[in-house]
Structure formats: C-alpha cells, structure tokens
Amino acid sequence: MFNRDLFKKMKPDAIFINCSRGDLVDQEALLWAVSSSVIAAAGLDVTTPEPLPTDSPLLDPSLRGKLVIFPHIGSASNRTRENMAMLAAENLIAGLSGRPMPSPL
C-alpha cells in the first residue's frame, strides 16, 4: 500500500499515477504528500470510493494542477464498447450451443 512512508521515499519532482486499484493508496497520505509538496503531483484513474463524494478533500480546488482525478472510464470508447458487446454475444452463443467460449473470462 502506498502510505506516508512510501511517499516520503519518493523524489520531490515525482508524479504519482494510480490506474490499478483505489485501495492500494492511502488517500489521506496522498493528499498530505501532494499538498505538502513531498511529491510534485498525482494522477488518479481510480479512487476509493468510486466515484468520490463531492465533499472529498481530494477534489479541493486548491489542488488543481497538482492532483488530477479522471473518471474510471478507460473502456468507454464506442469501439471498445462495441467490441465488448460482440465478445459477450459470441460467448453467449457459443455457451448455449455447447461450444467453447472464445473468451471464457
């Protein structure tokens, strides 16, 4: 887990990026690291909870330029959604026909 101790070990010009799981980051420690200039900036694609409540300290306007939070929508392009729908349909048809699914996971 990324906590105060780990943020203290980072260089002051470090930019922390989390696009894996929100629970891997102690968000209070991240807030401290960014607001205290322990690290230069951070970008989050995931948070805990998701979405953040509107009163979350991570959304403080004074952190703009130092902390960027993106909605977790990496798969939201039309092409990706169409591909996901096609794969789901192909899996369903194969499963109902007794054939191996093209992508069982």
33 close to 6: Cβ distance less than 8 angstroms: no
Q: Is 72 a catalytic residue?
A: yes
E strands present in the chain: 15-18, 41-44, 67-69
> Could you say which of 40, 56, 58, 72 is catalytic?
72
Q: How far does Cα 88 stand from its chain's mean position?
A: 24
| Residues catalogued as catalytic | 72
